[in-house]
Amino acid sequence: MRLWIALHLPRLPLEVFTPSWSTDTGTDVGTVVLDQERVLVASQVAQDAGVRTGMRRGGVLMLLPDARIHERAPTLEADARQAVALALLQYTPQVAEGEESTLLMDVGASLRLFGGIRALCRRVHANMRALGFTASLACAPTARGAWLLARANAGRAVRMEALLRRLDRLAVLLMPPARPYAAWFDGIGCHTLGDLRRLPRPGLQRRCGRELLDLLDAAYGLVPELYEWISPPETFRARLELYDRIDDADLLLAGAQCLLLQLTGWLCARQLAVERITLQLEHERGRVARPPTGVEIVLAEPTWRDEHLVRLLKERLGRLTLEAPVIGLALEALQVRPMAPPNASLFPEPGGSEDDRMRMLELLAARLGADNVLQPLPLADYRPEQANVWVPVQQKVSDKARNAQLPPDVLSLPRPTWLLARPIALLMRDHRPFYGSPLRMASNPERLEAGWWDGPETRDYFIAEGLDHTLYWVYRERIGMGEDGPKWFLHGLFG
């Protein structure tokens, strides 16, 4: 199934200067980003003071004289999108950059690996929080459809039918090619994409151009979509410019975690595991420049996951004494090696743990069905069909049944390798049981009388031999004889 996740970063122009993990409401005096001398986006403190989108610089300074005002930095935004894309490569190699601060991920082949779309969305949201960015996430069967849902913050639409319904309700001006014609659309009462689809296509194309129709068709899955996937670099070195001079280890760890997420995505995309990394803590530059402080970590076993690296960095930073405030972080992978290939065999290696065995059984149950992978559950009963019980390996077994012990004398008696699920009634020829050939009794009878509490069974079991010397386990009913004598049944086969 083709499924796309779109990530829209609506506050990216602001969060490249003040990522969310660095926000301190006690010291924030208000941050504003200007685009062509007008407010593009403002922090919550600035909004609470009355700063609004489109306001001029003078109006901002009148409301917040101490506000931090930044000019929009497209280069920093592009670097931030690249960092986010690099972190997302741990979920799929098919990550592309969309319009208007949006990233697209084709995750159709990754759903089972990460436990389904909901679990995957939760992980992506957690990564975005760790990276310090506010993200509006949506998923849909088409990339353009997911992009429009993310721009409108309209949630998930996993199936095509749900996507069509959601798209029909979206505002037509969400589509960039439609914005130059906003007044015309408003004049004819075309406010939603559903209204737009009902307009005559030839006239719409003459009025608005082919680009609008192409975008609409792609969103509704009527034309194929082609993207250029983001490719990871040959080597990894990432840098993070901190929002202020920091001498707090917790905030340094939060910044380092942003770099570790990028490292994880790079390792997964390149199919590598890291053995040695270094984190450079950059200090003041210029006249009072100081050399960076290096924190090097050498791992006993190569890894490509960030959880273990975060724990190691936390311990190292907690014991580190900073000689000067830190203004930047740089992470570099110094030594990597190819990922150890997973065990391709079905069965675990000799000497494996109980977890290896259970993973193998879970894999078998997933491939063959839970009812086709069974485990024995012997019960303390003389009747073979009661003592020989099989249940699915994933079924929880009560302690009473698990600890049941068969009568010791039963274990010393001959038993067939294969017990039939149901006994087969045998034909009688010349007063002898017949199964492919006349059967000759090759053992003395073993009398079984049990089950008086739920239907008594009285049988005489024999080992019988056919003309081809095959050995069978048969029994004779001692109760309920027919007109032709006792009834004989085949119950098992010896190997």
Q: What is the pLDDT of residues 434-477, one digit of tens each?
A: 998 999 999 888 888 887 777 668 889 999 999 998 999 999 98
pLDDT of residue 401: 56
**Per-residue pLDDT tens for 32-74?**
999 999 999 999 899 999 999 999 999 999 999 989 999 999 9
**Per-residue pLDDT tens for 82-132?**
999 999 999 999 999 988 889 999 999 888 889 899 999 999 999 999 898
pLDDT above 70 for 355: no
**DSSP H stretches of helix in 325-407:** 354-368, 384-387, 399-402
Mean pLDDT of 300-317: 81
How much of the chain exceeds pLDDT 90, in percent? 49
pLDDT of residue 408: 65
pLDDT band at 249 (very low <50, low <70, confident <90, very high): confident
pLDDT of residue 346: 57
* Contact present, 173 and 161 (Cβ < 8 Å): no
- Strand ranges inside 254-309, DSSP E: 272-282, 293-303
pLDDT band at 25 (very low <50, low <70, confident <90, very high): very low
pLDDT of residue 229: 92
pLDDT of residue 398: 57
C-alpha span between 220 and 128 (Å, rounded): 28
Q: What angle do CA 184, 153, 30 make, to 5 degrees?
A: 100
How much of the chain exceeds pLDDT 70, in percent? 87
pLDDT of residue 70: 93
DSSP class of residue 93 equals S
For the entire predicted model, the pTM comes to 0.66
> Helices 249-270 & 74-88, crossing angle to 10 degrees?
60
- Higher pLDDT among residues 128 and 357, named by residue: 128
pLDDT above 80 for 484: no
pLDDT band at 24 (very low <50, low <70, confident <90, very high): low
Mean pLDDT of 228-239: 92
- Strand ranges inside 341-483, DSSP E: 374-376, 390-392, 418-425, 427-429, 432-434, 440-441, 446-450, 457-465, 471-477
Taking phi over 0 as left and psi of -120 to 50 as alpha, with beta for the rest, 191 belongs to alpha
**DSSP H stretches of helix in 135-192:** 143-152, 160-168, 182-187
- Please give the single-letter amino acid code of residue 76: L
**Per-residue pLDDT tens for 158-209?**
899 999 999 999 999 999 999 999 999 999 999 999 999 999 999 999 999 9
pLDDT of residue 411: 63
pLDDT band at 226 (very low <50, low <70, confident <90, very high): confident
Mean pLDDT of 403-410: 61
Tell me the CB-side half-sphere exposure of residue 185, using CA atoms within 13 A. 24
Mean pLDDT of 234-250: 84
Q: Which residues contact 175 (CB under 8 A, 6 or more apart)?
A: 148, 193, 212, 215, 216
Mean pLDDT of 14-33: 77
- Higher pLDDT among residues 339 and 490, named by residue: 490
pLDDT above 70 for 353: no
Average the pLDDT over each of 216-225, 320-329, 476-485 and give the range with the smallest value.
476-485
Collapsing DSSP to helix, strand or coil, 187 comes out as helix
pLDDT above 50 for 340: yes
Mean residue pLDDT across the chain: 85
**Per-residue pLDDT tens for 411-423?**
677 888 788 888 9
Mean pLDDT of 372-398: 75
pLDDT of residue 3: 93
Q: Which residues contact 79 (CB under 8 A, 6 or more apart)?
A: 16
pLDDT of residue 371: 80
pLDDT of residue 23: 57
Q: How many CB atoms lie under 10 A from the CB of residue 239?
A: 14
- Higher pLDDT among residues 484 and 11, named by residue: 11
pLDDT above 70 for 404: no
